[in-house]
Amino acid sequence: MSNVGKVYLVGGGPGDPGLITVKGTEALRAADVVVYDRLIDPRLLSYAPPRAERIYVGKQSARHTLRQEEINALLVERAQAGQTVVRLKGGDPFVFGRGGEEAETLREAGIPFEVVPGVTSAIAAATYAGIPVTHRGVTSSLAVITGHEDPTKEASSLHLEGLATAAGTLVFLMGVENLPTLVGELLRHGRSPQTPVALVRWGTWPQQETVTGTLGDIVDTLAAREQPFGAPAVIVVGEVVALRERLRWFDNRPLWGKRVLITRSRDQAGRLAHLLAEQGADPIEVPAIAIAPPDDPGPLDDALGRIREYTWVVFTSVNGVAGVFARLEAQGRDARALAGVRVCAIGPATAASLRERGIRPDFVPDAFLTREVAKGLADLGVAGKRVLLPRTDIVGEDLAGALYEAGAAVDQVVAYRTLPAQEIDPEVREQLRAGAIDLVTFTSSSTVRNLVSLLGDDRAVLERCTIASIGPITTRTAHELGLRVEIEAQEHTVPGLMRAILEHVAR
C-alpha cells in the first residue's frame, strides 16, 4: 500500500463558481481524477489539469448515475491505484452531502483523505435571496433540516414536534417535493400560519428564482403558478424572510435573468462575461472567431528586424500586440526592441496590453474610427514618416490608406489570423430557436459574419434577439447582413459596450 493515493472530499459550494474555497481549487489542481456531482458548475472542472480524468456521478430524484455504494467503491479503487482523487460535491460534503459515509468507507479501506469544507446552500441560497438566516433583533437561532429522509428508514428522525418552534429560522434542504407535508407538520406543532416563508430555487445560479409567502398560503401560492417550482430548492421559514425586500442584492440587478450571447474569441470573452455577470446577466460564450498566429511569420519577422527604420508602430488591437511580442520572444528579444520608435495604441485595452509589456504608448486616440486615428497621427507629424501597421489577415477599414493620404509611408504586416469557428454548440442553437437568448453582442465585423455563417438556415433566429454592437463599423456589417442593431456603443470598447447595454435596459 506504499503507493496508495489520496482522496479529497471537496465542497464545491452551491453553484456560483466563485464560492469554492482556495483550498478546494488547490486540491483540484493536483487531481488525477475528479469525481463530480450534478450541481457543480462546469467551470470548476477547469481548475483540474487537462490530463485529469473527469467522472460524472450525478444524482437526481429516482435517477442515479451511480449508487452511493458504487461511488464509494470508485474512490477506493482509484486511490488504491495510486491516484489523487477529488470527490467534488455540491455545497458542503458534511451537510447532507453523504461525505461522512464516503469518509467512513475510505477509513475502513486505509485510504488517506482530507475534507475541504464548502459553502452550504442552506446559507448561500438564503443569502443570495437577500435573507440573513440570523439577524440581530429578529432571531439568533438556526436549524438546518433535511426535507428528504432516507426512504428505507422505518421512522422519521426529524421530530418536527420539537423543531417547529425550537429555532427562529428553519432551513429545509431537498424538501420542495414534500412541502405540503412539512408545512402541515409545522402548523400542527405550533408554528404560526403568519410565519414568512421563502423558497429559493437554483440558489446562487444565474437562473435563481425566489417565491415568498407564509406558512398559511405558500402551498396554494405554488399550486397557482403556471410554471412548476421543482428541485433544487431551499425552504427558509422564519421572520428573517421579511428582510428580503430591503436586503435583495443578487436578483434585482439591471440585467437579472437576461441570457446574453458573447461571440468574441474564447480567450477574450472573459472580461465581457465578467462585466455582464456582475450586472446579473447569464453570459453564454459562443466564440464565432478564433485567433491564431500568421501562416507565414516571415514578413512580420522581417519588419521587426528593421524596426528602427520606422518612426511609428500602430497597434490596432490586443491581438496585434500579442502577435508582435510573440515574434519578438521567438527572436530572443523583448520590449527594448521598440526603443526609439513611437507607439500608437487604438483603444484603452490595446494601451493596457502594451503597458503590461513595459511600453507606454505615445498616442491613444480619443475616438477609434479610421479617420480620427489618421487625423491624430497627422497632427503629430506622421507625414513623410514610415509607419508599421501590424494587423489581422482580414482586411477591414483602410487605416493604411488613410495614413497614406496623410503623407505617411505605411508597411502592413499580418501579426495574427482571425479564423471562423467551425461549429456552434447545439444547445445554444436550440436556445436561439426557442427565443431563450435575450441579447447578442458583437465586438467586430468578423464576429457578425461568422455567427451568421454558423447559423446558416437558422440565421432568422437573430431577429428575436436584441443585438448590441461595439461600434459603427461592426454595426454596418450587421446591417449589410440584414440584422437590426438596437444598441451601439459610443466608446468602442468592451466597457463602452457594457455601458450602452445598461443604458438601453434602463430606457
Conformation bin of residue 15: beta by default, left when phi > 0, alpha when psi is -120 to 50: left
Residue pointed to by grid coordinates 450587421: 478
Give the Cα separation of 96 and 230 in Å (integer). Answer: 19
Give the Cα separation of 331 and 324 in Å (integer). Answer: 11
Query: Cell digits for 478?
Result: 450587421
Amino acid at 397: E
**Strand (E) positions, 393-447?**
409-420, 439-442
| Helix or strand run (H / E) with residue 270 | helix 269-278
CA distances from residue 363 to 74, 397, 492 in whole angstroms, order as listed: 60, 20, 17
498 catalytic? Reply is no
* Active-site choice (37, 41, 92, 282): 37
* Active-site choice (59, 301, 438, 458): 59
For the chain, how far is it from start to end, CA to CA, in angstroms?
Answer: 67
Pairing status of strand 33-36 against strand 53-56: parallel
Torsion of CA 429, 435, 438, 444, to 10 degrees: 40
174 catalytic? Reply is yes
Q: Which of 20, 16, 25 is nearest to 46 (CA)?
A: 25
Give the Cα separation of 24 and 45 in Å (integer). Answer: 11
366 catalytic? Reply is no
Give the Cα separation of 147 and 208 in Å (integer). Answer: 20
Burial track 457-484 (b if 16+ CB lie within 10 A, e otherwise)? eebebbeebbbbbbbebbbebbeeeebe
* Active-site choice (32, 41, 174, 258): 174
Q: What is the 3-state secondary structure (H, E, C) of 207-228?
A: CCEEEEEECCCHHHHHHCCCCC
Q: Which of 351, 330, 276 is nearest to 501 (CA)?
A: 276
Residue 140, exposed/middle/buried by CB under 10 A (0-12, 13-18, 19+)?
A: exposed
Q: Is residue 261 within 8 Å of residue 465, measured between CB atoms?
A: yes
Locate all alpha helices (DSSP H) within 121-232, ordered by sequence: 121-128, 160-163, 179-188, 218-223
Q: What is the distance of C-alpha 294 from the center of its chain? A: 30
Question: Catalytic amino acids?
Answer: 37, 59, 174
